[in-house]
Chain A
């Protein structure tokens, strides 16, 4: 089944404790992206990747890191989480960018930073 998977689905952590949220897709998509969703602010892009070893900042990249060493994986790293990073996170992929292709979303990761 074609899908985007994220792990963990739920995470409670404390300020400053490094964490990684994994994202994997099995559709051989070139484009992958991370979004965060907050009440009243909607969905905002954090980082995106057009292909392996190519990553770019989205609208809200501060406090996040990403890497794209393999086509299928695009982990999101919070090296020193803070409470303002409490949010619902979505990973997405598309075959070749977003211009003319749909994005497929993972199920989401709910993060609470205490």
Chain B
């Protein structure tokens, strides 16, 4: 039931781009994306809803393929502050966080 994310970890240099994928075995009604710094609470990035509506961070983009039950988060021109662990989350009666992707941006 837990969505699977890929890659598990990625290291980028400042200015490089990254894509984080989230795949679910169950039908998706909406997908959430959060970022968590070590030891801190997850912070909301965006929500993608069935039908194409999106809510969230202006500088972050994402896609949601309802048929394939997948979502991808696109981080462009990465900054040092982008470092952290990224989680997708899927909704139903319960909420399931994905397996997580550790992203490290180096100078």
Contact = CB atoms under 8 A, between A and B. Distances in A.
Given A42-B99, A102-B47, A56 B93 contact: yes
A30 B30 CA distance: 19
B23 to A, nearest CB: 15
Contact of A43 (B42, B47, B53): B42
B74 interface: no
Contacts of B100: 42
B16 to A, nearest CB: 25
A48 B97 contact: no
Contact of B97 (A43, A106, A108): A43
B42 A59 contact: no
Contacts of B64: none
A97 B91 CA distance: 9
B30 A59 contact: no
Given A42-B98, A43-B42, 18 more contacts: A35-B97, A42-B87, A42-B97, A44-B97, A45-B95, A45-B96, A48-B94, A56-B94, A58-B94, A98-B89, A99-B29, A99-B49, A99-B91, A100-B49, A101-B47, A103-B32, A105-B42, A105-B43
Interface of B: 1-2, 29-30, 32, 39-44, 47, 49, 53, 55-56, 87, 89, 91, 93-100
30 contacts: A35-B97, A42-B87, A42-B98, A42-B99, A42-B100, A43-B87, A43-B97, A45-B94, A45-B95, A48-B94, A56-B93, A58-B95, A59-B96, A90-B41, A97-B91, A98-B91, A98-B95, A99-B30, A99-B49, A100-B47, A101-B47, A102-B44, A102-B47, A102-B55, A103-B32, A103-B44, A103-B95, A105-B42, A106-B41, A107-B40
